[in-house]
Amino acid sequence: MLSAMDMVGNPSSVHAPGRAARKLIEEAREHVAALVGAQPRNVVFTSGGTEANALALTPAIQTGSTLAPRTRLFVSAIEHPSVRSGGRFAADRREDVPVTHNGLADLPKLVARLDELAGTRPLVSIMLANNETGVIQPIAAAAELVHKAGGLLHVDAVQAVGKIPSNINALGADLLTISAHKLGGPKGVGALVLANEDLHIADPFLTGGGQERGNRAGTENVIGIAGFGAAAAAIARVWTQEAARTERTRDRLEASLLEVSPDVVIFGSNAPRLPNTTLAALPRVKAETALIALDLEGVAVSSGSACSSGKVAPSHVLAAMGVEPKLALGAVRVSIGATTTEDEIEIFLKAWTKRVMGLSKGKRGLAA
């Protein structure tokens, strides 16, 4: 990225500085494509996962030379807000796909609804792994069912790429969303990956100069894209061993949590999950209070609750899983990364025991 800062050329220019910038972008495109088993020409760079999702969620997805608009959008009830917003589908053309108590998309109910709407051209969006619980979704099975119904499948893989196998062809996805910062790259850059050349976004979200093969106008973020490509190349070399190490660390953390606080609830623990994610709640302890208490001990974690206008509400993910609202208000997400050490796990456990367990025994910070 530092090297890219010295490049003054516009990648759309034909002079030597422009060609140098273009070369850097295309090298990054190759690395990103390789990470998910795609062709480089089918990678569309965006400003991040949110924009990539917005680009994908449109009725105007062209397959081949004929434009047959998608007539209905189905999204799982646990999707990121950028997917749940529905993109460019009208509100009366959007439906939720329910999930089980374990946080898995309820495919039988999706199939039943697709059968009821036989003859339509649906677009279905199901994330590869949930950003709160880490629960991995049955994407390959969903793809088979969606394609049988004449639909297309969009997969938000932001949380999963670089942690679990995310090959677009093996998954059966038609469109795949990635974000650089989730795999060690910079914030503010992502990509929408198309499964093949026959797929085309007929109404680009951003129009203008025709960059990204007409799918996303605007001068490319050369610095960010360079970082994205470097991160994709780096994670491709190590993700398998890192995933195994991270999973062992997570399992040890969860076992220790249950040992020191037997009534703690770990959400999605009975389903396949990402190796780095734990979403847990201690009954009667509010997440916002627990986060502050842990932060005082130098531990940075996040909440499973969504905040809007200063009001904390139960997570829509946990609500979809049927979790009781009072318990959901206590959800704390712990994320483990490549740099997480055993000593840091010990620091977290000591902070949890000292601060959070103390809250559960007292009156301050208790869920109403």
16-73 per-position pLDDT tens digit: 999 999 999 999 999 999 999 999 999 999 999 999 999 999 999 988 877 788 999 9
Q: Is the pLDDT of residue 311 over 60?
A: no
Q: Within a domain: residue 368?
A: no
Do 30 and 150 have their domain in common?
A: yes
Q: Which residue has the tokens 């932001």?
A: 158
Per-residue model confidence (pLDDT) at position 276: 96
The reply to whether 216 and 247 lie within a common domain is no
Both 110 and 205 in a single domain? yes
- Which of the listed residues 182, 207, 234 is the one where a domain comes to its end? 234
Of 198, 214, 234, the residue that ends a domain is 234
Average pLDDT over residues 238-265: 95
Q: Looking at residues 157-185, what average pLDDT do you find?
A: 97
Model pLDDT, residue 9: 94
pTM over 0.85: yes
Q: Are residues 6 and 20 in the same domain?
A: yes
Residue 345: inside a domain, yes or no? yes
Q: Catalytic site residues?
A: 307
What's the number of domains the chain is made of? 2
The predicted structure's pLDDT at residue 65: 74
Beta bridge partners of 279: 333
- Residue 116 within any structural domain of the chain: yes
Residue 366 inside a domain? The answer is no
CATH of the domain at 40: 3.40.640.10
Same domain (yes/no): 347, 283: yes
Same domain, 245 and 160: no
Query: Residue 245, exposed/middle/buried by CB under 10 A (0-12, 13-18, 19+)?
Result: middle
| Least confident window among 132-136, 177-181, 222-226, 359-363 | 359-363
- State residue 338's pLDDT score: 85
Q: What integer is the mean pLDDT of 285-306?
A: 88
Average pLDDT over residues 151-161: 98
* Cβ atoms within 10 Å of 322's Cβ, excluding its own: 12
Asked whether residue 58 is assigned to any structural domain, the reply reads yes
Q: Are both 89 and 163 inside the same structural domain?
A: yes
Are 24 and 127 within one domain? yes
One domain, residues 108 and 213: yes
Clarify whether residues 91 and 76 are in a common domain: yes
305 has a pLDDT exceeding 60 = no
* Kind and range of the H or E run holding 309: none
Q: With pLDDT > 90 as the criterion, what percentage of the chain qualifies?
A: 88
Identify residue 251 by its one-letter amino acid code.
Answer: D
For 258-286, what is each residue's pLDDT tens digit? Answer: 999 999 999 999 999 999 999 999 999 99
Query: Domain end: 234, 250, 277, which one?
Result: 234
Tell whether 17 is covered by a domain: yes
Tell me: do 212 and 245 sit in the same domain.
no
The residue-averaged pLDDT of 236-263 equals 95
Is 246 found in the same domain as 125? no
Q: Chain-wide mean pLDDT for the chain?
A: 93
Query: Residue 37 CB: number of other CB atoms within 10 A?
Result: 16
Q: Give the pLDDT confidence score for residue 304 in this predicted structure.
A: 64
Residue 362 has pLDDT above 90, yes or no: no
Residue range(s) defining the domain that contains residue 285: 240-361
Contacts of 266 (CB under 8 A, 6+ apart): 254, 257, 258, 278, 279, 280
Q: Is residue 285 assigned to a domain? A: yes
Task: Confirm whether 367 is domain-assigned.
Answer: no
Encoded tokens for 252: 């040890």
| CA angle (60, 65, 67) in 5-degree steps | 25
5 phi and psi angles, rounded to 5 deg: -60, -25
pLDDT, position 126? 98
pLDDT digits (tens, 9 = 90+) for 86-143: 999 999 999 999 999 999 999 999 999 999 999 889 999 999 999 999 999 999 999 9
Element (H, E) at 278: strand 277-281
Q: What is the CATH number of the domain that holds 305?
A: 3.90.1150.10
Query: Which of the four pLDDT bands, split at 50, 70 and 90, describes residue 368?
Result: very low
